[in-house]
Amino acid sequence: MSVPLVSAGEHPVRAYPPRPEAVYFYGTCLVDLFVPEAGMDAIALLEREGIRVIFPDNQTCCGQPAFSSGFPDEARQVAASQLDLFPEDYPVVVPSGSCGGMIRWHWEKIFADDPARYAQAKAIAERTYEFAEFLLHVVGFNRPDQGEPTTVTLHTSCSARREMGTHLVGRELLAKLGNVTLAHHGHESECCGFGGTFSLKHPDVSTAMVSDKVAALKATGASEVVTADCGCLLNITKRAAKEDLDAGRVKPSLPGEHLATFLLRRTGGQTSGSN
């Protein structure tokens, strides 16, 4: 069986394995707390493909907020508590490119002075995949589009673009849907202003950035925005909702959903939000 080789941005070419019988699902704290339907729909997509999904109960945060804020000791403590959660040699699938990037590229760094934990982190990193990447290159997702013709626009977080190539896999998955047109926006590579703790530390700057992003997304005329990063999804759609409120609009001017939910709905599956 041939193994596809794909390069993710600045990182080296990656070899993808055959479809496994099981995976670990790393839900991320944002999905767990704010958009659980995205995680449930991602799991539904994987299970529909005949893959057994294991959800380790004690998973928490990947440590990225602490790491990117300059607190490697705190990030190390968070990550260390999860190194034993993936004992079998199954892929670890993450429905967020930024969290996937943290595990894939940065867990090794924070354990560089701890040989035993470094070895664990490296082994996990090598089998960690962003959800859309896994669906496209390992599962070989190819389901017929059952939805009406529509135009959407895609947002990918800036760190996920650089570290996991999510803009490329997102575009390719959407291109498989025959009734979906992808509208590119003028600020595609720019940050939405969320940036983890950045939006809390610099709210005025963050608001200006997300306002620019919302304007660019709306300018495409797309019916909705689709993304595989829930932090960005919340930041963008909530800013659009605030603008709608201020303007007295009742109908959302920029609805959005996680890529997993969009794919499941378009290919005949029942999304968790419709239950």
Contacts of 24 (CB under 8 A, 6+ apart): 54, 55, 56, 85, 86, 88, 90, 91, 92, 93
Strand partners, 5: 15
Full-prediction pTM beyond 0.85?
Answer: yes
Q: What is the pLDDT of residue 159?
A: 84
At a CB cut-off of 8 Å and minimum separation 6, what does 203 contact? Answer: none
pLDDT at position 5 is 44
Distance between CA atoms of 242 and 129, rounded to whole angstroms? 34
Per residue of the chain (275 residues), give pLDDT as tens: 334 544 455 566 788 999 999 999 999 999 999 999 999 999 999 999 999 999 999 999 999 989 988 999 999 999 999 999 999 999 999 999 999 999 999 999 999 999 999 999 999 999 999 999 999 999 999 999 999 999 999 999 888 888 898 999 999 999 999 999 999 998 888 899 888 778 888 889 999 999 999 999 999 999 999 999 989 999 999 999 999 999 999 999 999 999 999 999 999 999 987 75
Sequence-ordered list of residues with C-beta below 8 angstroms from that of 196, at least 6 positions apart, any chain: 64, 65, 68, 69, 98, 231
Q: Is the CB of residue 162 less than 8 Å from the CB of residue 9?
A: yes
Name 12's Cβ contacts closer than 8 Å, sequence gap at least 6. Answer: none
φ/ψ of 228, rounded to 5, equals -105, 15
Phi, psi at residue 195, to the nearest 5°? 55, 35
Identity at 94, one-letter amino acid code? V
Q: What are the residue boundaries of the structural domains of the chain, listed by start?
A: 5-138, 143-274
How far is 198 from 63, CA to CA, in rounded Å?
A: 15
CATH number for the segment(s) 5-138: 1.20.1050.140
Torsion angle of alpha carbons 180, 237, 32, 101, nearest 10°? 70
Name the class of domain 143-274. Answer: alpha beta
